[in-house]
Amino acid sequence: MQTSDPECATVSKRDFIKAGVGCMCMLGAAGALGVAGHASAQTAQRGLIKARRSEWFTDVGNGHLRCDLCPRHCQLAPGQRGPCRVRENRGGQGYSLVYGNPALVQLDPVERKPFFHVLPGSRALSVSTAGCNIECKFCEVWDMALVSPDEVHAYDMPPADVVQQAVAAGAQAISYAFGEPVVFFEYVSSIARQARQANMLNLLHTNGYIAAAPLEAMVDDLDAVNIDLKCFDPDFYRDVCGGELEPVLDTLKRLRQHDVHIEITNIVIPTLNDATDTVRAMCRWIVDELGPDVPVHFGRFYPLYKLANLPPTPARTLDRVREIAREEGLRYVYIARVPGHEAESTFCPSCDRPVIERLGFVIEEMHLNDGACAHCGTAIPGRWV
């Protein structure tokens, strides 16, 4: 296509992507119908579709059940749901209200998860249901995660249909993301086992707020996990997220023990979790407990939900926390949501040359040979095949 507009004529591909990459982050459930397969052949239904018995409940007497999925260990009376809104005591039997009922099914770049050290440039089929077991005041998907399944439109998609859709779409992985996969644990587990049989990777993006037993039951089917480490301050977790920090740290340590590929996301919120001492303590803990090669993504905060009064994170703040992370020994530190920033790319820790050059979710150049830097031969940790 030709244009007589001299301004348009000088816009490069990089500038065009840079200008539009912010919009890419906003694609939501509207994209779900664009993927070939079962979901595109049906209309999403509002309200509960079906419920499924769950083994992750313990009878504690008098008709009450304890949910064993997350550190809350909620005790539910007959007819009561947990704070996650999707787990219920029905006459003394524990049920998941979202098994096979995803509110979101869409094809995404794997970089959007974000995973920067897993199959760069590939696509993953993302699946999520309603519900979450914590309540962050800065939740970006509150209208799906912080509502009950009665309030969303969802599809009737058994696990086999999810895998079939992923294969038909040419995805190399299935990603359990956007909402909180801990609360649809049974659905994740069923899909993951079938995905493994289809030679697809299983990618989990989670708040990490899960009890030890279910994590151990799932971990062998996981290939990579991105944990939202909200802050390294227990008071922040309680006041801003309605949860506790220690169980998240325990999850990270267990994943490391099982040699699962880990990446970490930290949304940097002005005045709340951006203090130098707090960031430094977090980065030091990651290096000491998980190792210096864990990729860490510092994301820009945008005002929304219950923190709409705060400003977006200044780019200089993100530069500062990145520098702190590198000072503490982290080798792969990224800045998210600042289009065009050099810290979107992966650099070799030995020769400091770019190994994967990115613009937003777009791979511009790759310099990897069998998982090693093409410039100097240093091994770069990740899942490259």
Same domain? For 173 and 274 the reply is yes
Whole-prediction pTM: 0.90
Identify whether 6 is part of a domain.
no
Map residue 304 onto helix, strand or coil: coil
Range(s) of the domain holding residue 360: 345-385
Same domain? For 74 and 134 the reply is no
Same domain? For 73 and 214 the reply is no
Same domain? For 217 and 78 the reply is no
> CA-based diameter of the chain, in Å?
78
How do 296-300 and 333-336 pair as beta strands? parallel
Pair 157, 100: CB distance under 8 Å: yes
Same domain? For 116 and 89 the reply is no
pLDDT in tens, 339-384: 999 999 999 999 999 999 999 999 999 999 999 999 999 999 999 9
Residue type, 24: M
Map residue 225 onto helix, strand or coil: strand
Pair 256, 291: CB distance under 8 Å: yes
Per-residue pLDDT at 27: 31
| Contacts (Cβ under 8 Å, ≥6 apart) of 67 | 56, 57, 73, 74, 75, 76, 82, 87, 94
How is 64-120 classified by DSSP, letter by letter? EEEE-SSTT--EE-TT-B-TTSSEEEETTEEEES-TT--SEEEEEEGGGTT-SSBST
Same domain? For 58 and 118 the reply is no
Same domain? For 230 and 266 the reply is yes
Per-residue pLDDT at 43: 83
Among 96, 127, 158, the domain boundary falls at 96
- Give backbone dihedrals phi and psi of 340, rounded to 5 degrees, phi first: 90, -5
Tokens of 287: 């290096």
Confidence of residue 48 (pLDDT cuts 50, 70, 90): confident
Tokens of 224: 């990579």
Per-residue pLDDT at 44: 86
Same domain? For 167 and 306 the reply is yes
Identify whether 216 is part of a domain.
yes
pLDDT in tens, 3-23: 333 333 333 444 433 444 333
Query: CA torsion, points 350, 355, 360, 362, in degrees to nearest 10?
Result: -170
287 pLDDT exceeds 70?
yes
Per-residue pLDDT at 47: 84
Identify whether 135 is part of a domain.
yes
Same domain? For 72 and 160 the reply is no
Q: Return the percentage of the chain with pLDDT > 90, whole number.
A: 87
159 pLDDT exceeds 60?
yes
Per-residue pLDDT at 14: 45
Query: What CATH number did the domain enclosing 184 receive?
Result: 3.20.20.70
Among 311, 327, 344, the domain boundary falls at 344
Q: Listing from the earlier edge strand, what are the strands of the sheet with 346-347?
A: 346-347, 354-359, 362-366
Per-residue pLDDT at 42: 75
166 pLDDT exceeds 70?
yes
- Within a 10 A sphere around the Cβ of 374, how many other Cβ atoms? 13
Per-residue pLDDT at 41: 62
Identify whether 27 is part of a domain.
no
Distance of CA 40 to the CA centre of its chain: 24
Identify whether 230 is part of a domain.
yes
Identify whether 40 is part of a domain.
no
Identify whether 383 is part of a domain.
yes
Same domain? For 215 and 295 the reply is yes
Identify whether 289 is part of a domain.
yes
Beta bridge partners of 2: none
Same domain? For 275 and 352 the reply is no
Confidence of residue 99 (pLDDT cuts 50, 70, 90): very high
Same domain? For 178 and 279 the reply is yes
- How many domains, in total, are found in the chain? 3
